[in-house]
Amino acid sequence: MSTIHTAHASPPAAAAGRPAEGLPASLVLLLGAGAGFAAASLYYAQPLLGLLADDLHVDAGAMGGVPTLTQLGYAAGLALLAPLGDRYDRRRIILVKAVLLVLALLMAASASSLPALLAASLAIGLSATVAQDFVPAAATLAPPAQRGRAVGTVMTGLLLGILLSRVAAGVVAEQWGWRTVFVAASLSVAAIAVVARLRLPRFEPTTQLSYLALLGTLPALWRRHRALRLAAVAQGLLSVGFSAFWSTLAVMLHGAPFHLGSSAAGAFGIAGAAGALAAPLAGRIADRRGPEVVTRLGAGLAALSFAAMFVLPWLPVPLALALLCATAVGFDMGVQGSLIGHQSIVYGLEPAARSRLNAVLFVVIFLGMASGAALGAALFAAFGWMGVTVLSTASALGALAVRVLGARRG
């Protein structure tokens, strides 16, 4: 087993497991699967909200707290836990977080009231940040010539996990109940933890800062890098619309005029997964033409896709469902492609601070996710699907404006 040389400016990491000529495909697959199963944990509940409301005997509007707390927990975990990847062996961090995520998912499976489910949702969000430990791991292990492809592949796994989680959750819940969804999710994460312990190399820390000093560098990174601020704000705005759509879709399809079950809501994840497959293509475009092009194309495509939903109230049910599928493909391609562009920008700023830069980026993204879930639920309750459409379209246009105006002032 040869020594892995990291791509950052600090001394090479004492991690073994990659041949000198490149990163093994099996290890990239493990990192992608780990990121996917961990990130999926954040979204299993979304197509189940109608079922959860009925089973726990609460108002459907109150269920908006489940995705909101999950996203807030994830944002808090990114800020407080993700920077540890620069200070400690990332392999150990991955294993500890995976165990905590298994326990949080089992806590959700056993919840008998809304407060218990909300507490479990917060715990899932905190521990699911292990997904964001797999991505910098790929950037560290891959040689420079492979880094874009490796990160793109792992991000594809993460994005497929996010989107296909809804499909799996919907089907499993209708067949065996919603509690089975969370039990199965815990088993998938446990399996990844076992394989990761056997296959992942150790990672040499890139800093010796104390934990508090490490956290203190996050605001400094934000102030120092204008490119980081632009990337975070633009992707955060896109996340508002993304989350508003997915966190209200199940409730909309559950009621009139659709009257569809959780499996139908989850099946929309297939459409979203098709959009997620654009991630490797976005990475190649970013390498050849620059990430700025990718971020603008992504934001523009998301805005057009969200805007197309304005005609939904005037369409018959079959056409409305077809349009929803088409727009899900479009805006997912836009959001995920833009994310790859923004990550390409951010990972190139300070290689020795990749975990912290990644943490700052995703804290803002998931604050956007949490805001989108909360605002989407409120607007849906007040104005129906039109309110969600306005919010999603406006947020995507805002992201496009950040990229265009930011570049002009840069």
Q: Which of 81, 85, 44 is nearest to 66 (CA)?
A: 44
d(CA 146, CA 139): 9
Is 80 exceeded by the pLDDT of residue 23? no
Q: Which of 213, 202, 187 is nearest to 101 (CA)?
A: 187
> In the structure, what pLDDT confidence band is assigned to residue 409 with cuts at 50, 70 and 90?
low
Contacts of 320 (CB under 8 A, 6+ apart): 258, 312
Q: Could you tell me how many residues make up the chain?
A: 410
Its CATH class, for the domain covering 23-201+208-409, is mainly alpha
The CB density around residue 394, as the number of other CB atoms within 10 Å, is 16
The CA-based angle 72-75-385, given to 5 degrees, is 50
Name the burial class of residue 380, with classes exposed (0-12), middle (13-18) and buried (19+) by CB atoms within 10 angstroms of its CB: buried
d(CA 277, CA 282): 9
> In the structure, what pLDDT confidence band is assigned to residue 274 with cuts at 50, 70 and 90?
low
d(CA 247, CA 46): 6
The continuous run of DSSP H or E covering 280 comes out as helix 278-289
pLDDT (average), residues 205-220: 87
Q: Say which DSSP state 113 is in.
A: S
Is 80 exceeded by the pLDDT of residue 317? yes
Q: Say which DSSP state 325 is in.
A: H
Tell me the range of 87-91, 215-219, 236-240, 263-267 where mean pLDDT is highest: 236-240
Confidence at residue 148, expressed as pLDDT on a 0 to 100 scale: 66
Contacts of 188 (CB under 8 A, 6+ apart): 37, 40
Q: Which of 128, 144, 132, 235 is nearest to 185 (CA)?
A: 128
d(CA 67, CA 311): 27
d(CA 328, CA 340): 18
The continuous run of DSSP H or E covering 9 comes out as none
| Predicted structure pTM score | 0.73
Q: Say which DSSP state 128 is in.
A: G
Is 70 exceeded by the pLDDT of residue 145? no
Is 60 exceeded by the pLDDT of residue 18? no
- Give the distance between the most distant pair of CA atoms in the chain: 63
161 compared with 299, residue with greater pLDDT = 299
DSSP code per residue over 184-226: HHHHHHHHHHHHHHHHPPP---S----HHHHHHHHHHHHHH-H
Strand partners for 16? 3
E strand map for 242-333:
none
Listed by start position, the domains of the chain span 23-201+208-409
d(CA 360, CA 312): 36
> In the structure, what pLDDT confidence band is assigned to residue 9 with cuts at 50, 70 and 90?
very low
Average pLDDT, rounded, for the chain: 84
Output helix, strand, coil percentages for the chain, rounded to the nearest 5: 80, 0, 15
